[in-house]
Structure 1
Amino acid sequence: MEGLLIRSGVAVVLSLAIAWRANRHKSLDRSGAIAGFLVMAIHIAAGYRFGALLLVFFFTSSKLTKMGQEKKRSVDVDFKEGGQRNWIQVLANSGLATILVVTFVMMTGGEDTCLDTKKSKLLTGLIGGIVGHYACCNGDTWSSEIGMLSKAQPRLITTFKQVRKGTNGAVSVEGLLAAAAAGFVIGLTSVISGLLTATDCDADVASKQLWVIPIAATAGLGGSLIDSFLGATIQFSGYCTLRKKVVGRRAPTVIRISGMDVLDNNAVNAVSVTLTTLLTSMACLYIF
């Protein structure tokens, strides 16, 4: 309990500083900064491993979002300086993980543990789900940001036909490799931080934690593919002849490229994250 109280103090100070800086540098708007502060504080207070996962996702994604902004401005109709995210986008990328983190800390009192189904299937599933969650979010962001900077023309995941950059469901080799790399980074972060903070890992259990890295890399790639498939099928994409850009809404000047107008981008992200979280949790229960 003492550790939880200390982490809570650290969480408030650190989260406040990061949220303020993110708002100042236009990574988050005001609503996003408030939501980000709450989410970060909860993660860090619950455990340094969870705080590390969230912060690695946030900082790496923010840096990539700011790369090649002029090129992205010409492609992305919803482009915002600095990649500014609002509270809806913050919660779409962290809401489910926050619920899992709160569940974890209520069960453990804030004591970290290794993934080991012999000790607790539920805790192993929770940690695995959180890792899968951020592997998916990181993979989707890295894939999108690097894919937009690729010189190659992307292809629609359902037909493999070349489409314009910015089309929902479009994939590229560079983007898919980036998604796997993003998941790898999340897995590595979980292993390193987990081994530093967990107190119940003997040699055999500790060595088995390395499986988290390929699992997370697969979750990063798989989550990106799920997101792309949903984007290509139930998220509308069209080319606006007036703005000369791909857009996500129907209009008289918009020529349909792909997808049905069922879900918007935030909803697609939420569905892909939920599926990847569940699948990764199940994979960890099977492996550990």
Structure 2
Amino acid sequence: MEVPMFLLIQSVMALLLASVIAGAAFSRKSLNRSGALAGFLVMAIHFACSCRFGALLLVFFFTSSMLTKFGEEKKRSVDEDFKEGGQRNWTCRIQVLANSALASILAMIVAMNTGGQDRCLDTKDSTLLTGLIGGVIGHYACCNGDTWSSEIGMLSNAQPRLITTFKKVRKGTNGAVSLEGLVAAAAGGFVIGLAFVIVGWLTVSCPADVTRKELLVVPIATFAGLCGSLIDSILGATFQFSGYCSLRKKVTMRSSVYLFLNQLYIYISLILHFL
């Protein structure tokens, strides 16, 4: 079967762009070697499937990376897993990488049905495609909201509260939330929704009524960002261990079941995307 020329060009451009971005992230120590390789694969798939999907991944990666580096001195005193420059490796960011793998699968399913061309978010055209595209948007809204919440919430001057009991706890405790963190979660989702809409205006021509309806993505993504953070906080408060090391004067967290619960979080989030 002959591959359409535009799809071939798009795939080559995706590989080149992914190589440049992953290489730059590695050289700036935003990613280590294994993280850069994983990032290259995920970015190449996203851009080859849709410019919109690629844009969502980039917005998530760059904004979360910048926020990770913001307020490093304060975070170093709170986070036991803090790394200089906010470097993200395979071990400490396995949840993000696993989530990206699921988003990549959704993106490939969409591409198989669209031939790699961006489509309008129109239920009248295809309810299935709308649901799949909505799943990718919701996914990155949740990821970005959760990351923004963690990075901004850690810098809050107020003492956070445990989401299950509302009791004040130490900063860095799993399941702890703050007003600043919740606002940041919503803002993280908002940015994802806005990016999807703006890139859509540049890459695909939709009827006027469909273009207006696509604006609903912004408030929905905002809500998804907040929900993603809340779900992660509830799971962290319920299942993940948090203790305090008096020697290092930091909250410490080690749990043998948390990797499994991270995966559970992924599937719960995915289900919520389609509701």
Regarding TM over 0.5, the answer is yes
Aligned with residue 242 of structure 2, among 237, 246, 255:
237
The residue identity in structure 2 corresponding to 1:29 is: N
Report matched runs for 1:4-153 at 5 Å: 4-87=7-90, 89=93, 90-153=96-159
Give the superposition deviation at 1:6. Answer: 1.6
Aligned with residue 233 of structure 2, among 228, 233, 246:
228
Q: Deviations over 1:114-144 (max 9, x none)?
A: 1222211110011000001100110011000
Give the superposition deviation at 1:198. Answer: 2.7
Aligned residues between the structures = 269
RMSD over aligned CA atoms reads 1.5
Does 1:212 pair with 2:217?
A: yes
Secondary structure of the residue aligned to 1:176 is helix
TM norm structure 1: 0.89
CA distance in 2, matches of 1:67, 1:84: 12
Give the superposition deviation at 1:4. Answer: 1.8
Secondary structure of the residue aligned to 2:258 is coil
Segment of structure 1 superposing worse, 93-102 or 149-158: 93-102
Q: Which position in structure 1 is the counterpart of 2:200?
A: 194
CA distance in 1, matches of 2:130, 2:9: 25
Identity %: 68
Consecutive unaligned residues of structure 1, counting only runs of 5 or more, are 251-260, 283-288
CA distance in 1, matches of 2:268, 2:224: 10
Give the superposition deviation at 1:225. Answer: 0.2
Give the superposition deviation at 1:182. Answer: 0.5
CA distance in 2, matches of 1:59, 1:45: 19
CA contact (8 A) 1:184 1:216 kept: yes
Q: Which position in structure 2 is the counterpart of 1:3?
A: 6
Does 1:275 pair with 2:263?
A: no
Secondary structure of the residue aligned to 2:243 is strand
CA distance in 2, matches of 1:269, 1:59: 23
Give the superposition deviation at 1:242. Answer: 2.2
CA shift in 2, pair 1:196/1:274, >3 Å: farther
CA contact (8 A) 1:66 1:83 kept: yes
Q: Which position in structure 1 is the counterpart of 2:257?
A: 262
Secondary structure of the residue aligned to 1:149 is coil
The residue identity in structure 2 corresponding to 1:145 is: E
Give the superposition deviation at 1:107. Answer: 1.5
Q: Deviations over 1:197-233 (max 9, x none)?
A: 234x211111100110011000000010000000000
CA distance in 2, matches of 1:61, 1:48: 20
Give the superposition deviation at 1:189. Answer: 0.6
CA distance in 2, matches of 1:204, 1:55: 28
CA distance in 1, matches of 2:178, 2:82: 20
Secondary structure of the residue aligned to 1:87 is coil
Give the superposition deviation at 1:276. Answer: 2.7
CA contact (8 A) 1:236 1:262 kept: no
Q: Which position in structure 1 is the counterpart of 2:181?
A: 175
Consecutive unaligned residues of structure 2, counting only runs of 5 or more, are none
Give the superposition deviation at 1:17. Answer: 1.0
The residue identity in structure 2 corresponding to 1:40 is: M
CA distance in 2, matches of 1:25, 1:275: 34
TM norm structure 2: 0.93
